[in-house]
Amino acid sequence: MIRVSVNGYGTIGKRVASAILAQPDMKLLGVAKTTPNYEAFTASKLGINLYVPESSIKEFEEVGLKIAGTVEDMVRNSDVVVDATPNGVGAQYKQLYQLSKRKAVFQGGEKSNVADVSFSALCNYSEALNKDYVRVVSCNTTALLRTICSLGKVSKVQKVRGTIVRRAADPKEVKKGPINSLVPDPASVPSHHAKDVNTVLKDLDIVTMAIIAPTTLMHMHLLNVTFSTKVSREDILEVFKNTPRIILIRSKTKVNSTAEILEVARDLGRPRNDILEVAVFEDSVYTSGNEAFVMYAVHQESIVVPENIDAIRAMTGFNDVDTSIKITNSTLGIRGGYII
């Protein structure tokens, strides 16, 4: 059993913790939290060990939250720490992981040089084998990489031009905006997403533009992909249909928006109504000569969770990528094909 702990129990951390609990080859040692907010209370209610910084012990005890030890204790007792602290904080914690000689998975909010390798399970699992520090790329980059690496099975991908329409805030973030504006993010081109894709697919010609829209549910990507040969809509749909972690939304089900995708997730009983797959609008797949177009939705809160799990396996020497992906998918209910 791989002993895993999660440093940070926010949007990503709590989902990775749930996912670890579902793995047959992993044990969740506990999670680290700095403030005793509702997520700490929920973790406690779920029976998850809480570790806190030395300086926070009093604050947690005052509100009646039982703690299992300090963050240092947690790291020391882990084989792998999943760092899910806020952007940039992971790099500060790296020293602790190094001093304790513990492996760590970082998130996409950290700079790529925090780790030995940036990671996408469908693209470069083997590069993470036995590495000490691996960075799972961000939600948008994870979706781009899953899609591009899958499209690579149709024909060689020569060029990607993409628009990313980002959700403004997560549902729980009550202080973030905008609530009525479109915000280029950034106004300069290319957006960082293209560069981040290049941390994994180093030679890909990719340019992305990004804006923020006032919604909390999901991102959307609108891609224009140029291949080295003529491609057909049928071939692309066939690959998408046969790639778990990509699901298809068909128009006859009358799911026409991100809100309706998540409503389906709620009705299907998915934990936290998460959509861990890239959700492709089947109708949007369009080809013209060497070019293809596709529109898909990305559940920013959860899409990186399976990649975190696979990264842990790769770092601890599990060298069968297909089996790792298969275990992760089946334990987390991840699908391929049509969602309904």
- Which residues make up the interface to a second copy (CB under 8 A)? 161, 163, 165, 167, 178, 180-184, 186-190, 207, 209, 211, 213-220, 222, 224, 249, 251, 256-260, 281-286, 288, 291, 293-295, 297
Residue closer to a second copy, measured from CB, 48 or 285: 285
300 is in an annotated binding site: yes
164 is in an annotated binding site: no
Would you call the peptide bond into 271 cis, given omega within 30 degrees of 0 as the criterion?
no
Q: Given the DSSP bridges, would you call strands 183-184 and 205-213 parallel, antiparallel or unpaired?
A: antiparallel
Instruction: Tell the smallest beta-carbon distance from residue 188 to a second copy (Å).
Output: 4
Residue closer to a second copy, measured from CB, 71 or 225: 225
Residue closer to a second copy, measured from CB, 14 or 219: 219
Residue closer to a second copy, measured from CB, 92 or 181: 181
**What's the rounded Cα separation, in Å, for the pair 114 and 116?**
7
Q: Sort 66 into a burial class: Cβ within 10 Å, 0-12 / 13-18 / 19+.
A: exposed
Q: Position 16: which residue type?
A: V
List, as one string, the DSSP characters of 89-151. Answer: HHHHHHHHHHHTT-EEEEPTTS-GGGSSEEE-HHHHGGGGTT-SEEEEPPHHHHHHHHHHHHH
272 is in an annotated binding site: no
12 is in an annotated binding site: yes
Which among 93, 147, 90, 97 is positioned nearest to 120, based on CA atoms?
147
95 is in an annotated binding site: no
The number of CA neighbours under 13 Å toward the Cβ of 196 is 24
Q: 81 with 103: CB under 8 angstroms?
A: yes
30 is in an annotated binding site: no
Q: 295 with 221: CB under 8 angstroms?
A: yes
Residue closer to a second copy, measured from CB, 88 or 186: 186
First-residue to last-residue Cα distance in the chain = 35
Is 139 a known active-site residue? Answer: yes
b/e 283-299 (16+ beta carbons within 10 angstroms → b): eebebeeebbbbbbbbb
Q: Which of 29, 67, 139, 200 is catalytic?
A: 139
Instruction: Tell the smallest beta-carbon distance from residue 187 to a second copy (Å).
Output: 4
Q: Known binding site for D-glyceraldehyde 3-phosphate: residues?
A: 138-140, 193-194
Which residues are the active-site residues?
Answer: 139
Binding site, annotated residues: 11-12, 109, 138-140, 167, 193-194, 300
Annotated binding residues for NAD(+), written as ranges, equal 11-12, 109, 167, 300
